[in-house]
A and B are shown apart, each in its own frame.
Chain A
Amino acid sequence: MRSPDHEESELIQILLDIQKEEHWLSKEALEKVAAKLNVPLSRVQHVATFYKAFSLVPKGRHEINVCMGTACHVRGAPRVLDVVQNLTGIRPGETDGDMKFSLDTVNCLGCCALGPVIEVDHEQLGKLAPSKAAELLKKYD
């Protein structure tokens, strides 16, 4: 049974695939997708900027996500974020100059029993006191 999808409905799915593969969406990638699906580039850009999953700048070697879910928040996530910001010198959404770390916040990783949690390169590290977070980041290069 063929589903009656319109091809352009695949736009978000295709961008997600590229994001997963390349860790960001380059201008060239956006142009290619627009041409392939025959939709205006402006619409591709609208989608790429509307949804949080997409990054329009390249990511560093290590991607840090600090969970800012409610459970982590009440257990001290803002303090963990402070320390991570100080240590990396970047703020959420940024990548440092030598492309070592990219920092982001996420709304909930769903492992609230471990809060506060941060995720480095998709590995979840839980029950983080600010001092532990500092210790932990030192081992990445």
Chain B
Amino acid sequence: MISSPHELEQLRREIVSRRDPAQARVSVCAGAGCLATGAAKVISAFHGEVDKQGLQVEVKATGCPGFCERGPIVVIEPEETCYLQVQTKDVAEIVTKTIQQQKVLDRLLYAKDVRKEAEIPFYRHQERNIIGNNRRIDPKSIEDYLALGGYAALAKALTQMKPEQVVEEVKKSQLRGRGGAGFPTGIKWEAARNAPGSPKYVIVNADEGDPGAFMDRAVLEGNPHSILEGLMIGAYAIGASHGYVYVRQEYPLALENIGIAIRAAREHGLLGTNILGSRFDFDVKVHRGAGAFVCGEETALLLSLEGKPGEPKPRPPYPAIRGLWGKPTNINNVETWANVPLIINHGADWFTQFGTAKSKGTKIFSLVGKIKNTGLVEVPMGVTLRDIVYKIGDGIPKGKKFKAVQTGGPAGGCIPEEHLDIPVDFDELLKAGAIMGSGGMIVMDEDTCMVDVARYFLNFLADESCGKCSACREGVKQMHRILTDITEGRGKAGDIELLEDLAFTTRNASLCALGRSAPNPVLSTIRYFRDEYEAHIRDKRCPAYGCKALTRYYIEPEACEGCLLCLKNCTSEAITGSRKQLHVIDQAKCNQCGTCYDICPPKFGAVKRYSGEPVPA
């Protein structure tokens, strides 16, 4: 039990003194992305090999450093040699050569002579204030967090600052909510602090529902104590005695790690009564979400916490005034809470040195889709989209052409090539017709149909609309129907205008943010890619060959070498032919899966796509 800031510091020193910085250590990413590519087996292989060779080497399963594209990721310390895409077959050699003999295995490096993590271009252009610690921490160990100075910000807040001063510091930092809306966090805290009523509640919103976004998961999985510490500082500032971490049940590892962190914090006296001898009492519970996107909206989340269906309520009253069980409640997103200990430790002035005039600090994005380096990217606000896509993401794979980047999840918008140089912050993205959202960044190339992208998001939103207000329930459904018609070749003149009309009504008449922002994917794609809409409607042609109903595949007789590859891989047995004989697609059987096009060797390039014109007979 730690009962004072002094004891906390003593414990930290004791933990650090037990550790020999010169001792070899293997850190393996145990985040969900690397686990899906075999990290668990790699970790146990390291344990086995180290035991077999009788070595004193610590094997650590860490949080996610973000470079998912090249997982499983292994870092050997103290030299900080970073190996990528490590498999169990590599483990014995790493232990023998790199750990025992300090020899670098070139084939596992990012590139020859790029040995350290910080030298890899993907990392070099980032500013990793939040996610940078993931690699140094076993998220299941409170000691790792304490060794890095964990809970020092809490100790500082509890013993050297009045709650009002904490609120002031956060206000001064100009931190804005990372969940999507970008509302100033300090002002939100102040409202909850000043609201009458007790008890008060603080909540971590970890219902990260945007498809293609997993920043919050990585932080919660990889550094759960940082979220707890932020939450506790917020609770002290606001005057809350109870907290909840609302995690979607689709994140089992995040649930496990935050659960372990809470128990460890309790055992160390960092949760409970009279925390660090300050008379501040606080405890936290974890609540699992049950798979409803709308529960990321704060009024829906509160109802879900109360055990009810998560159907949003009109605001005001805001949760700060009437929240959980009618009491003042403050809800912030995972990444917002993660910023709080940094602001208290280093001060608001340190924080405001990062970012733009109105968007301070760093932001984590999940860079996914048609991009070479898929992963989590933390950059100061104000970096351009171009730098993120090309310097960090290394551009588009397979030599394809960039078309757009979609930000902000289903409520966001698509930004085309000509706007790639806008600085990424809350206001600039809004001006460009997109939003920051929670940080999803989906890159699209020439093969992505923008009408289909709009249809995809509207399908998602129609599915997730809770149905309480008719503007959202019907508006989203009708927009989806029209978009489906267009992508399936049933578009009519006037559809674009009708979509714009529906978008206007849905935006203005919906109850919550889900409906109000649902038109964004439609409007932003019409704004920048109207020609694609027109091609679908007028010529029944999909310029990107992305819409199945409008695309046909055809094997050019002159180019086909009869290699059997497409025939063997055809998923609908639509291709006939034999070795060295011309292959032919039976259009009646073809399901347009595109496998033949993808698989035909580029040197033949015999499979051609047709849209808006008939396939040669």
Asked whether any CB of chain B lies closer than 8 Å to the CB of A129, the reply is: yes
> Does B309 contact A73, Cβ atoms closer than 8 Å?
no
Asked whether any CB of chain A lies closer than 8 Å to the CB of B32, the reply is: yes
> Does B212 contact A52, Cβ atoms closer than 8 Å?
no
Give 3 closest A-B pairs by Cβ, nearest first.
A52-B291, A51-B290, A69-B211
Asked whether any CB of chain A lies closer than 8 Å to the CB of B442, the reply is: yes
Extra contacts besides A70-B442, A74-B370 (10): CB < 8 Å = A1-B241, A12-B304, A71-B211, A71-B374, A78-B548, A86-B591, A107-B460, A111-B36, A112-B212, A131-B593
> Does A16 contact B212, Cβ atoms closer than 8 Å?
no
CA A74 to CA B448, docked complex, whole Å? 6
Query: What residues of chain A have their CB less than 8 Å away from a CB belonging to chain B?
Result: 1, 3-6, 8-13, 15-16, 43, 46-47, 50-54, 68-71, 73-76, 78-79, 82-83, 86, 106-115, 117, 124, 126, 129-131, 134
CA A8 to CA B33, docked complex, whole Å? 36
Given A70-B369, A74-B448: A108 and B307 interface contact (C-beta under 8 Å): no
Given A16-B288, A114-B37: A79 and B593 interface contact (C-beta under 8 Å): yes
Asked whether any CB of chain A lies closer than 8 Å to the CB of B325, the reply is: yes
> Does B288 contact A70, Cβ atoms closer than 8 Å?
no
Residues of B within 8 A of A130 (CB): 571, 593-595
Provide 13 A-B residue pairs closer than 8 Å at the C-beta atoms, listed in order of the A residue.
Answer: A3-B242, A9-B305, A12-B290, A47-B309, A51-B291, A52-B291, A74-B370, A74-B448, A108-B210, A113-B375, A124-B36, A130-B594, A131-B599
Q: Of residues 190 to 226 in B, which have CB atoms within 8 Å of A's CB atoms?
A: 199, 209-214, 217
From A8, A52, A82, A83, B292 is in contact (CB under 8 Å) with: A52
Q: How far is the CB of B512 from chain A (nearest CB, A)?
A: 15
Asked whether any CB of chain A lies closer than 8 Å to the CB of B283, the reply is: yes
> Does A131 contact B288, Cβ atoms closer than 8 Å?
no
> Does B209 contact A111, Cβ atoms closer than 8 Å?
no
Residues of B within 8 A of A13 (CB): 287-288, 307
Given A53-B291, A124-B36: A111 and B68 interface contact (C-beta under 8 Å): yes
From A47, A75, A79, A106, B307 is in contact (CB under 8 Å) with: A47
Task: Please name the residue on chain A nearest to B33 by beta carbon.
Answer: A111
Residues of B within 8 A of A115 (CB): 368
> Does B456 contact A73, Cβ atoms closer than 8 Å?
yes
Residues of A within 8 A of B593 (CB): 79, 82-83, 130-131
Residues of A within 8 A of B309 (CB): 46-47, 50-51
> Does B325 contact A113, Cβ atoms closer than 8 Å?
no
Q: Which of B375, B569, B593 has the most CB of A within 10 A?
A: B593
Asked whether any CB of chain A lies closer than 8 Å to the CB of B315, the reply is: no
Q: Which of A74, A75, A126 has the most CB of B within 10 A?
A: A74
Q: How far is the CB of B73 from chain A (nearest CB, A)?
A: 11
Q: Which of B33, B68, B460 has the most CB of A within 10 A?
A: B33
From A15, A50, A76, A113, B71 is in contact (CB under 8 Å) with: A113
Asked whether any CB of chain A lies closer than 8 Å to the CB of B598, the reply is: yes
> Does A110 contact B283, Cβ atoms closer than 8 Å?
no
Task: Please name the residue on chain A nearest to B309 by beta carbon.
Answer: A50
Given A51-B290, A51-B292: A12 and B68 interface contact (C-beta under 8 Å): no
Asked whether any CB of chain A lies closer than 8 Å to the CB of B83, the reply is: no
Given A108-B210, A108-B211: A50 and B310 interface contact (C-beta under 8 Å): yes
Asked whether any CB of chain A lies closer than 8 Å to the CB of B281, the reply is: yes
CA A124 to CA B36, docked complex, whole Å? 6
Residues of B within 8 A of A108 (CB): 210-214
Q: Which of A13, A113, A126 has the most CB of B within 10 A?
A: A113
Residues of A within 8 A of B273 (CB): 1
> Does A8 contact B307, Cβ atoms closer than 8 Å?
yes
Given A9-B307, A111-B33: A69 and B212 interface contact (C-beta under 8 Å): yes
From B69, B213, B249, B272, A1 is in contact (CB under 8 Å) with: B272
Residues of A within 8 A of B32 (CB): 109-111
CA A18 to CA B575, docked complex, whole Å? 47
Q: Of residues 168 to 202 in B, which have CB atoms within 8 Å of A's CB atoms?
A: 199
> Does B272 contact A112, Cβ atoms closer than 8 Å?
no
> Does A113 contact B68, Cβ atoms closer than 8 Å?
yes
> Does B68 contact A6, Cβ atoms closer than 8 Å?
no
> Does A70 contact B368, Cβ atoms closer than 8 Å?
yes
Residues of A within 8 A of B409 (CB): 70
> Does A113 contact B374, Cβ atoms closer than 8 Å?
yes
CA A13 to CA B305, docked complex, whole Å? 9
Residues of B within 8 A of A71 (CB): 211-212, 368-369, 374, 442
Q: How far is the CB of B287 from chain A (nearest CB, A)?
A: 7
CA A76 to CA B571, docked complex, whole Å? 14
Given A1-B281, A112-B366: A129 and B595 interface contact (C-beta under 8 Å): yes
> Does B37 contact A54, Cβ atoms closer than 8 Å?
no
Asked whether any CB of chain A lies closer than 8 Å to the CB of B306, the reply is: yes
CA A52 to CA B369, docked complex, whole Å? 25
Task: Please name the residue on chain A nearest to B71 by beta carbon.
Answer: A113
